Amino acid sequence: MVTKQKLWKALVRIAIISGLLAIPVLIMFGPGLEIMGSTSSSDVEDILYERVDEYNRAVSEIPGLADIVIAANTNPEYLNDADRQSYLATYRRLLGGWEIAWYYHSADDLDDDAWRKWNHWYIEEFNHRAYFGWAENKKFFSKRFIQHVDRSTATEED
């Protein structure tokens, strides 16, 4: 028969074992964990520049990707499924940079001037691309970021 005392001892053992299992995880991954407020605006901008550079390198170095991006933004109905997915994945990476900027600005780690500059740049990029890229990618982003993008890019026709 299980008594309260036996149950309590089992729960204590489970808690101790769980705590011991957490130690190797913290040792392995702890140094890479960022603490809110420990990132400077300059650090965030470095991350954003790197994201844009990665996108540009991919478009210029991956064979055929530049043609896919051009086709997606001019005649998306002619993309085959593979090209459409390539475009969406590449564009999602660029949009991810915008969400990073939005997130860090919301956390007060990206100053207002830098945020305005980046947000403006991303809005301009957004406006030069086919809307389907956002429509099909928005499910990958946070609800609040989606609201920000939709508000920021709304036109008078919307």
pLDDT of res. 39: 79
Residue 140 predicted with pLDDT over 70: yes
| pLDDT of 36 higher than 50 | no
More confident residue, 115 or 22: 115
pLDDT at 109 over 60: yes
Residue 15 has pLDDT above 60, yes or no: no
38 pLDDT band (50/70/90 cuts)?
low
Specify the pLDDT at position 25.
45
- Give the pLDDT of residue 106: 93
Which pTM value belongs to this model?
Answer: 0.71
Rounded CA separation 3/150 (Å): 58
Q: What percentage of the chain reaches a pLDDT higher than 90?
A: 66
Predicted confidence (pLDDT) at residue 37 exceeds the cutoff of 60: no
Tell me what the mean pLDDT of segment 31-36 comes to.
46
Sequence-separated contacts (24+) of 48-56 with Cβ below 8 Å:
48/97, 48/100, 48/101, 48/118, 51/93, 51/94, 51/96, 51/97, 51/100, 52/94, 52/97, 54/93, 55/90, 55/93, 55/94, 55/97
Q: What is the structure's pLDDT at 77?
A: 92
Question: For position 31, what pLDDT does the model report?
Answer: 47
For the stretch 65-96, pLDDT in tens is 999 999 999 999 999 999 999 999 999 999 99
Cα(155)–Cα(158) distance, integer angstroms: 5
pLDDT band at 19 (very low <50, low <70, confident <90, very high): low
